[in-house]
Amino acid sequence: MYVNDIPFLITILRDLYFGSAQAMGDETYKSIYGALDKIIKIYRHYGFSVTHILGDGQFEFLDPSKIVSGVTLNIVTRGEHVPEVEWYIRMVKERTRSV
């Protein structure tokens, strides 16, 4: 997601619909790995264990072993998006516009 041309990594816990956003300086793999690491640490701090990450084509070339051991990285097919994340992004944008 972009806000004023600033990229954000958006995540959501599927069963709880708990979303998070992490600002990134750019869209390099180093920034994506760093943002994922921060978000996973936050989830773990609150007692959640991350076992699967679903991503779109932008995550296609990420190495799952560089994220966290024991995490499975699943990439949706080309042209597809993760529905829960798309819903969350739409909700955040609508609420921001209404304020």
State the CATH number of the domain containing residue 22: 3.30.420.10
Q: What is the pLDDT of residue 80?
A: 75
Cβ-contact 50, 71 below 8 angstroms: yes
- The structure's pTM equals 0.75
Domain total in the chain: 1
Higher-pLDDT residue of 67, 51: 51
Confidence at 89, pLDDT banded by 50, 70, 90 = confident
- Structural tokens at position 93: 């944008």
Residue 48: give the domain boundaries: 2-98
Q: What is the pLDDT of residue 45?
A: 92
Alpha carbon of residue 85 to chain centroid: 8
Mean pLDDT of 6-10: 88
Amino acid, single-letter form, for residue 82: V
Spatial distance between the Cα atoms of 70 and 74, rounded to a whole number of angstroms: 13
Confidence at 88, pLDDT banded by 50, 70, 90 = confident
